[in-house]
Amino acid sequence: MPESLRVSLVQTELAWQNPEANRAHFAELLQDLAGQTDLIVLPEMFTTGFMMAPEIHAEAYGGATFTWLQTQAAKLQAAICGSVATAVEGQYTNRFMFATPDGQMQFYDKRHLFRMGDEVNHYSAGLERKTFNYQGFRILPQVCYDLRFPVFMRNRNDYDLAIVVANWPAVRRKPWRTLLQARAIENQSYVLGVNRVGMDGLGLAYSGDSLAIDFKGELLIDQAEGSAFVETTPLDLNALQQFREQFPAWMDADEFSLN
């Protein structure tokens, strides 16, 4: 079992509702990561920005971006993930896709749809909480607004790393940063939060604030507000397991289940 996982956060502007331009842009940003990382995290709806026209811009599962993710994972020999507006059997989902170098693809559909942005009227909510296994780490995928729901994100001793991809506006940057750290601390887990920067087609500004956080809430990656960057840091699984053994707060957690 690997003792560490090199993770790369990719924070950048997005071309509004232009999948081809965004795929080309990310391909250029990622080319130097070959052999330098194990897992690459892109923002929510990284091919379009957070848009409410899925009937025009959503892609079929197995379509161009699906194939692009598989190609990039194989080329870079690293897992790569982010969410994409996806057409599924006559409906649309905000789908977190996780591609691995061996050609496999796993997915999670965003459970909590952002009603203040009208997402509830354009997309279907996911029905299932999922975890992925990759290089010894158990990973919980989440999308943006999911971050505000600690019961759904609660660690049931089933993950070591939570990944939250987002288009989280600058006006609410303090809750974004605070909640990411809170989820890491309360769940004794690593947390990666990847947001975008720049302005979208609706005039909303994004400050970024993409963070890598350890199980004690310490910041491993934290760049200047509004900056575009690609940064990599290792996550130490042994250190996480040792901390859980030394400070086993999880043993005193209350029992409950979700319907």
Catalytic residue of the set 59, 81, 110, 119: 110
Residue 258 has pLDDT above 80, yes or no: no
Residue 257 pLDDT class (50, 70, 90 cuts): confident
Q: Is 245 left (phi over 0), alpha (psi -120 to 50) or beta?
A: alpha
Architecture of the domain whose range is 4-250? 4-Layer Sandwich (3.60)
The model's pTM is: 0.97
Catalytic residue of the set 59, 144, 174, 216: 144
Asked if 255 is an active-site residue, the reply is no
Cα maximum dimension of the chain: 52
Catalytic residue of the set 28, 44, 75, 225: 44
Give per-residue pLDDT as tens, 37-67: 999 999 999 999 999 999 999 999 999 999 9
Asked if 174 is an active-site residue, the reply is no
Percent of the chain with pLDDT over 90: 95
Percent of the chain with pLDDT over 70: 99
Residue 259 has pLDDT above 70, yes or no: no
Question: What is the chain's mean pLDDT, rounded?
Answer: 97
The pLDDT of residue 3 is 78
The residue extents of the domains of the chain are 4-250
Q: What is the mean pLDDT of residues 98-123?
A: 98
More confident position, 258 or 138: 138
| Cα dihedral 200→204→85→82 (10° resolution) | 90
Residue 1 has pLDDT above 60, yes or no: no
Asked if 44 is an active-site residue, the reply is yes
